[in-house]
Amino acid sequence: MSNSYGKLFKITTFGESHGAAVGVIVDGCPAGLEISVDEIQHALDRRRPGQSDITTPRKEEDRVTILSGIFEGKTTGTPIALVVNNKDQHSHDYSHIEHAFRPSHADYTYTAKYGARDYRGGGRSSARETVARVAAGALAAKLLQHYGISVQSYVSQVGSIKLRKPYQELDLSQIDSNKVRCPDGATAARMIGLIEEARDTLDTIGGVVSCVIQGVPVGLGEPVFDKLHAELGKAMLSINAVKGFEYGSGFEGVKMRGSEHNDEFYTDEEGNVRTRTNNSGGIQGGISNGQDIYFNVAFKPVATILQPQTTINDAGEEITLKGKGRHDPCVLPRAVPIVDAMAALVIADFLLRQRVNKV
């Protein structure tokens, strides 16, 4: 089982949903980066459960402890160990699925692959693992900030309710101004209403998180197998419940002619090479071109629903199963900081790789 990501800025996560703790080892973070526990905690607070009535009521504080690699507020260049203890566990909520395969969960595939599984919340397959990614992502984001690079994600669609404005017309400082994390108040209100409707009918709903990365220098990414957009896609598709990834013009680009889609080059007043449009999404030939990188990530409806469903148990017998416990009716508000984290980790890794790529 691969639990690591990155080549130079490398993370290894550990822990299970109902184990003692989850955590991460970050190796390769340069020395001298100023980072406080409060900055890491802020990222975790955006992901933690119990934030509002449209997220799971589970009350995990998700307090992070720094075990190594940071001294007097600065990274030392040695491995950074971060751990978050699990506290509000209701493992008994999962006793009814000890032998059952929940629809659209990893229960069957984990059992088939390993011959065993931790049925308490899904164990390693649980989205609880993303706590570690968000903690590591806070370090990556601080490194990017040092180089003038920002990563901002927001909810752009819930079910059929879609934010129609492009990111250039949005005030991204308003992302956290509402509980669904959509930077447009009117659209956010409609999204919240739809999530509440799904919750009240014991159902769930999916949607889309959009991400914008600004300030990326030209040259990040590799030309063949480690294309920048391929790594971003891999990182996003590794997040629980993600079903799709598109960058730049994405699937809408197929409706255009080449004469419309091509991004023409020009030189601005400062002598920088720019493009008049950005259908490429800031990446050409797998390498960043200095324009904004933007992409969309599709999340399916949360698989655990509080309605009866037909499935089978590990003996192959047909059974009726009904979800229990505390679950999100929509994962999107808490997925925003996870998308932020994975995007920051990808860019941080490529940033360090580019520094050793030429004299």
pLDDT at site 322: 83
| Annotated binding residue 304 | yes
Query: What is the per-residue pLDDT for 92?
Result: 57
What is the pLDDT at residue 97? 80
Task: Go through the chain and tell me how many residues it has.
Answer: 359
User: b/e string for 144-177 if b means 16 or more Cβ within 10 A?
Assistant: bbeeebebbbbbbbbbebebeeebeebeeeebee
pLDDT, tens digit, for every residue of 30-49? 999 999 999 999 999 999 98
Helix axes 332-355, 37-47, angle to 10 degrees: 140
Determine if residue 111 is labeled as part of a ligand binding site: no
Spans of all domains in the chain? 4-355
For range 179-206, the mean pLDDT: 97
Among 353, 130, 166, 98, smallest CA distance to 241 is for 130
Known binder of ligand: residue 272? no
Note whether 60 and 87 are within 8 A (CB): yes
Structure tokens that stand for 233 in this block: 């896609």
3-state helix, strand, coil in the chain (%, to 5): 35, 25, 45
Mean pLDDT of the chain: 93
Residue 45, sorted as left (phi over 0), alpha (psi -120 to 50) or beta, turns out to be: alpha
pLDDT given at position 90: 55
Contact in structure between 222 and 307 (CB atoms under 8 Å): no
Among candidates 34, 64, 9, which has minimal Cα distance to 145? 34
Q: Which residues are bridge partners to 275 per DSSP?
A: 265
212 against 357, higher pLDDT: 212
Lookup result for tokens 């999100």: 328
Structure confidence by residue, pLDDT tens digits, 144-173: 999 999 999 999 999 999 999 999 999 999
Closest CA to 342 of 188, 172, 140: 140
CATH superfamily placement of domain 4-355: Chorismate synthase AroC (3.60.150.10)
With tokens 């020395």, the residue in question is 31
Better-scored residue on pLDDT, 208 or 117: 208
Structure tokens that stand for 336 in this block: 């925003």
**Spatial distance between the Cα atoms of 157 and 164, rounded to a whole number of angstroms:** 9
Of residues 82 and 355, more confidently modeled: 82
| CA–CA gap between residue 342 and residue 239 (Å, rounded) | 9
Picking from 255, 220, 210, 208, the residue whose alpha carbon sits closest to that of residue 8 is: 220
76 assigned to a ligand binding site: no
337 known ligand binder: no
Q: How confident is the model at residue 291, as a pLDDT? A: 98
- pLDDT, mean of residues 228-237: 98
Is the per-residue pLDDT at 12 higher than 70? yes
Q: Is 211 exposed, middle or buried (0-12, 13-18, 19+ CB in 10 A)?
A: buried
Q: Is 302 annotated as a binding residue?
A: yes
- Would the annotation count 300 as a binding residue? yes
pLDDT at 30: 96
The string of pLDDT tens digits covering residues 94-150 is 677 888 889 998 889 988 999 888 887 677 888 899 999 999 999 999 999 999 999
pLDDT tens across 278-330, in order?
A: 999 999 999 999 999 999 999 999 998 889 999 999 889 999 988 776 788 99
**301 among annotated binding-site residues:** yes
What three-state secondary structure class fits 275? strand
Q: What are phi and psi of 202, to 5 degrees?
A: 60, 35
Q: Is 326 annotated as a binding residue?
A: yes
